[in-house]
Chains A and B, each alone.
Chain A
Amino acid sequence: MKILIPTPLRQYAAKKDTVEVPAKTVGEALSGLTSQYSELRRHLYTEDGKLRAFVNLYLNDEDIRYLQKENTPVRDGDTLSIVPSIAGGCCCSG
């Protein structure tokens, strides 16, 4: 399935804006993604393996928290969007 990588996380995914992974559930898609790009893992998951609360995941246009979360089944042509919270002009290039 296609996973859309948001701008703030592209630097951890070899600058890609989309990644294709084979998956039957959302959880599988995320494992596929984080095994390819391990740096993404700590931005998506806490140390005890929970999805971070400031990152939302949408299967097509629906928040997976209102579906079956990581167990949500995935079909051909589905898109998973990773949408972190952003706050605008805080960009401090250090």
Chain B
Amino acid sequence: MAIVAENVQSATLSNDEVLRYSRHLIMPEVGMEGQLKLKAAKVLCIGAGGLGSPLAMYLAAAGVGTLGIVDFDVVDFTNLQRQIIHSTEDVGRKKLDSAEEGIRGINPFVEVRKFETRLTSENALGIFRDFDVIVDGTDNFPTRYLVNDACVLSGKPNVYGSIFRFEGQASVLATREGPCYRCWYPEPPPPGLVPSCAEGGVLGILPGLVGVIQATETVKLILGKGEPLIGRVLLVDALGMKFRELKLRKNPDCPVCGTHPTITKLIDYQQFCGIRGEEAPVTTKVPEIQVEELKQRLDAGEDIFILDVREPHEYQICNINGYLIPLGDLPKRVHELDSSREIVAHCRSGVRSAKAVDFLRQAGFRKVKNLAGGVLAWSDRVDPKMPKY
């Protein structure tokens, strides 16, 4: 299928552009006709982060005439490991501005439209209206469902990509004959049940792989060439370097793209993702101790057992000499702990250790507390020499 951009008839290429795109023009699959389609096309990139960075760069290089970018975030130091459109000098800058500069540097012929806003049910349809293809590079479930529904309702294809650590998924959703995200996953995971990100992180290169797959699919849709990933999911396993394909079927009973849709306008996606599950979100309130108090009491020679529930590779980054039992191993190693001692459990930011304290209290431990804020807080307020990660 091809995306027919409205203004393809009036698109022209200057001599500079002809030279720039020569390697496209000499290929029959693109040629002058294809390059003019690219120039006339308007693509909306949702997110200028891990997936959005390589996506925007390659679409700019390919000569997509208009690139819209939706992002309200600021470049953070930890982004640089994978968000390659941003450079070290851009830390602290709006991602939109940094991305715009990166795009113009690659290709000044691209018109950049910036949307410095969170995508919401109120603004999505209006923002999508002027674009031909939507590329989803977001990082949370509510927005995934919002983008999907808005694409179906607006009749725009959703070039989907997502990642987790070193695995990725890519597909082209929300086409008229093809499936949408809800055909594939009718419901999001309930917040309390998303597999714990205790071993979180992401291989920096991975969004590069998947983002460029998304860029490739976008270009193919515009050109109307090749076989897009409609009705198919590409699963990427970067560690094994294995690419597998699964069939994705359109569900005739899909509430948004089926034959009798029940969702005809955008809903409250936070609510959809929050109450959808069978279990309520886990917000356990456990006894806490602040980093200053722990430091004071340790310095005074008090006998406090520090339990570190992070992973071994995190311990190597920095630690406060705690006894390491990764959270996942706690149930089977709980006998290593002495419930008569005062125990302070910690992790990186206090989330995992709160779960550890909850577990230990349920196991009968009475003198256990959570170090609020974890090693991040320790670095902030007790020992600035401790690296943060």
Contact = CB atoms under 8 A, between A and B. Distances in A.
B197 A63 contact: no
B249 A88 contact: no
Interface of B: 49-51, 137-141, 144, 161-167, 169, 184-189, 193-202, 207, 233, 235, 244-249, 278, 314, 328, 347-352, 374
Given A61-B245, A89-B202, A94-B351, 7 more contacts: A52-B189, A88-B161, A88-B163, A89-B163, A92-B349, A93-B199, A93-B352
Interface of A: 6-9, 11-12, 42-43, 46-47, 52-54, 56, 58, 61-63, 66, 81, 83-94
A15 to B, nearest CB: 9
Contacts of A87: 138-141, 144, 162
A46 B167 CA distance: 25
Contacts, number: 119
A63 B245 contact: no
B165 A43 contact: no
A22 B187 CA distance: 30
B246 A63 contact: yes
A61 B388 CA distance: 42
Contact of A7 (B167, B185, B187, B247): B167
Given A11-B198, A88-B51, A46 B185 contact: no
A88 B50 contact: yes
A45 to B, nearest CB: 10
A94 B140 contact: no
5 contacts: A7-B166, A54-B187, A81-B235, A88-B162, A92-B200
A63 to B, nearest CB: 6
Contacts of A9: 195
B140 A6 contact: no
B237 to A, nearest CB: 9
Contact of B201 (A11, A61, A66, A93): A93
B278 A85 contact: no
Given A61-B246, A61-B247, A85 B198 contact: no
Given A61-B247, A84-B189, A90 B184 contact: no
